[in-house]
Copies of this chain bind each other. A is one copy, B any other.
């Protein structure tokens, strides 16, 4: 389940042997495929294994440079593609991939595919040639210099393009849908016997990829999201019974909503997809909200965009180009419900609704993410040069890992309502543990 696919045996010496060893000193930073870390580092799991003579527990391959590599650098051609919504750090990844390929491995042909997977299939989207000069300062720029798009594309067409252009390795920067696309490309080329290394770099601002401690851009997003909460707080306090309502990202998980609530500490309610609640009724959200207004006369609410989808008519929900379910707009629904409740109960309220999504997505990576992106990218290049494919680069227990795409996309990471994180949120907000009537 956690085994990485390989294109074949590694015949070439890694150029790192020379470049990073000091004169007369051997480079000793290489990693082997036997270097793995336990998924579960708990002592009791270890003891159980000892006692029961168990086989190997679940472990994950360490990422890192290999002493022998599969591709001959001078004949290698790489491609980079960025898909889905914007996220802080994409350009940092593009830059670090390019620098690593070029300077450390000597790969000089690097194509930047335009506008996501559609760049493989739409004739007028000419790829960009990437090199150290082109990418020099792009880490200072938000967004993606390559452009992005949502939506799936014919795997066959993409593979045709790859073959026609003699591309040997493909770096896919994207989330769930992108990674499934990457897997299909990897499988398709493996079936055809075309040696293509496909390596994913997990870009999900929602931080919901399993087996990975955090996805790049998430920390920067939380930091940027803080100012929207501060604004909501200021607006809420500025008026009698003022309510600041902020919708943050999080289709299936409340990580951004929860961590932002902790970081800024001005929210009174955090509503996330993992925790159901009732709107009405004596233990419902509205009752609790207006109880707070009665005593403090202002309130701040954070809601993750995927929250409360049960309040919407399921028959009316569509799908976007990437096959993601279109979400009902919980922000507007809450705003209306609050205004109606106020009107019905003759309580004057002012709702200030803030949707900062694009302003968060389009921020530059902060220092942590900037460093993290470099490291993810370097490990992606190490994996590709070693002929590994159908994997993505992860991070666990302070180590970078090679993770099979299938494993990563098999389930989503989300917030356990009994976890310390959610306990922290409950405490920071003071909101009830349950807001349901039964």
- Spell out A's residues near B (CB within 8 Å): 20-23, 25, 27-29, 34-38, 41-44, 46-47, 49-50, 53, 56-57, 59, 64, 86, 99-100, 103-104, 114-115, 118, 125, 139-145, 147-149, 213, 219, 222-223, 226-228, 230-232, 234-235, 237-240, 242, 244, 259-260, 262-265, 352, 354-356, 358-359, 361-363, 366-368, 370-371, 374-375, 378, 396-400, 418-420, 423-424, 426-428, 432-434
A-B contact pairs, 22 of them (CB 8 A): A20-B426, A22-B433, A22-B434, A23-B434, A27-B418, A29-B420, A34-B43, A38-B46, A43-B56, A99-B427, A104-B427, A141-B234, A142-B234, A147-B239, A213-B398, A219-B367, A219-B368, A231-B358, A260-B367, A264-B370, A374-B428, A396-B397
CB-CB under 8 A for A371 and B262, given A38-B41, A46-B46, A47-B56: yes
Which of B53, B228, B398, B433 has a CB less than 8 Å from the CB of A21? Answer: B433
Chain B residues with CB below 8 A from A64, complex form: 420
Whether B260 lies near A149 (C-beta < 8 A) is no
Q: Which residue of chain B has its CB nearest to the CB of A355? A: B355
**Which chain B residue shows the least CB distance to A38?**
B41
Kindly state the separation between the CA atoms of A424 and B53 in the bound complex, as whole angstroms.
Answer: 41
Does B354 contact A149, Cβ atoms closer than 8 Å? Answer: no
Report whether B34 and A44 are in contact in the complex, using a CB–CB cutoff of 8 Å: yes
**A237 CB contacts on chain B under 8 angstroms:** 143, 145, 147
Question: How far does the alpha carbon of A59 sit from the alpha carbon of B38 in the complex, in Å?
Answer: 14
What are the residues of chain B within 8 A of A354 when measuring CB–CB? 358-359
Known: A21-B433, A29-B419, A149-B240. A362 touches B43 (CB 8 A): no
Q: A42-B36, A56-B43, A423-B20 are in contact. Are A232 and B367 (CB under 8 A)?
A: no
Shortest beta-carbon contacts, A-B, top 6: A234-B362, A263-B367, A143-B234, A22-B433, A36-B43, A231-B362
Contact B370 A262 (CB under 8 A): yes
Bound-state Cα–Cα, A25 to B434, Å: 10
- The SS class assigned to the A binding surface is mixed
Q: Output the nearest chain B residue to A148 by Cβ-Cβ distance.
A: B238
With a cutoff of 8 Å between Cβ atoms, the chain B residues found around residue A361 in the complex are 231, 235
Q: How far is the CB of A115 from chain B (nearest CB, A)?
A: 5
Instruction: For A231, list chain B residues within 8 Å (CB).
Output: 142, 358-359, 361-363
Q: How many copies does the complex hold?
A: 4
Are A238 and B147 within 8 A (Cβ)?
yes
Contact B36–A223 (Cβ < 8 Å): no
In angstroms, Cα B34 to Cα A374, docked, is 38
Name the residue among A147, A226, A242, A359 with the largest chain B CB count within 10 angstroms.
Answer: A359
Complex contacts, A262 vs chain B, CB 8 Å? 370-371, 374
B263 lies within 8 A of A370 (CB): yes
B-chain residues with CB within 8 Å of residue A139 when the two chains form the complex: 265
Q: Which of A141, A145, A263, A418 has the most CB of B within 10 A?
A: A263
By a CB distance below 8 angstroms, the chain B residues around A140 are 140
User: Closest residue of chain B to A60, judged by CB?
Assistant: B43
Give every chain B residue within 8 A of A114 (Cβ-Cβ).
Answer: 240
Q: Cβ of A118: which chain B residues have Cβ within 8 Å of it?
A: 240
A105 to chain B, nearest CB (A): 12
A223 and B366 in contact, given A43-B38, A420-B378 (Cβ under 8 angstroms) = yes
**A244, B143: Cα distance in complex, Å:** 13
Q: How far is the CA of A419 from the CA of B378 in the complex (A)?
A: 13
**A35 proximity list for chain B (CB < 8 A):** 42-44
Q: Find out whether the CB atom of A37 lies under 8 angstroms from the CB atom of B42.
A: yes
Chain B neighbourhood of A370, CB < 8 A? 262-265
By the criterion CB–CB under 8 Å, are A378 and B424 in contact? yes
Instruction: Please measure, in the bound complex, the distance between the C-alpha atom of A100 and the C-alpha atom of B59, giving whole angstroms.
Output: 36
Q: Report Cα–Cα, A228/B362, bound state, in Å.
A: 9
CB distance from A177 to the nearest CB of B (A): 16
B418 engages A29 (CB within 8 Å): yes
Knowing A21-B433, A238-B144, A427-B104, the reply to whether A222 touches B362 (Cβ < 8 A) is no
Residues of B within 8 A of A400 (CB): 420
Q: How far is the CB of A76 from chain B (nearest CB, A)?
A: 19
